[in-house]
Structure 1
């Protein structure tokens, strides 16, 4: 496995979607040699509690878990980071790694679009939509989500190790 291109995005809190103050979103272009086996690959690297489906078409985030999304089929345009964030088009074989708190929303997808999703160590995930009454508690939750020990695609190596784990020191 290799990455054709690595995209790195840092998003600030926009007052509605908190995003992650410390960790970037990582997009691995064309990283999946066998996109239909994405869920199995993630599970081998201890990203568990997995599923296959799509991406919600409204802004949401998970304050208690990081998330990996592997595009198994088709393509989609996804808005990352909330209303003021980035629109990114992903294709079959691409992987998006979202740190806890990062907003994401599907804007468009091909009819065959399908992703596999998973969470480090099988963490249970919540679904937050940016309610103001959630703010104080979600900001604390996001800061307290442990960093994964393995990259969901490359295991003990890969960009996640460099950009998420090396920053701890």
Structure 2
């Protein structure tokens, strides 16, 4: 268990705290914990790369922590009414489709190598920026317009693009299965 993996596990443990803070209308706490989670993500990535501490476990845990954090925040903000439900459905559906594709690949003994595309990385940045803006606006009482609309548009474009690219690649990968 390396230091970056311990930091990543800590980030996963922050998820219920952020959800609690959002549903309890403690937006300052939610924003602060979100910042801590973001900083921890940068720190564990830096340590893993800089000090050659990257591991197979870390390669699985880090995206899991990111997804748990983002999906939980989007669902909580959607239920709370702070963001439109359609964006929640879009973001969560993308992740469900990708996870389902990975599971099907395993079931057919054709595991897919999961490496994030540039579009997927841009999608994560847009999702994080939108969530941060909404949480900051709720915590500090300012109007996020027009930046919220711009970021929502970017989240929509990048989410649809990234899931499309993943699914095309997955279909291509799975089409090599031989019929028996």
**What is the TM-score normalised by the length of structure 1?**
0.29
**What is the TM-score normalised by the length of structure 2?**
0.27
Higher relative strand content: 1
Greater RCO structure (CA 8 Å; 6+ sep): 1
Larger radius of gyration: 2
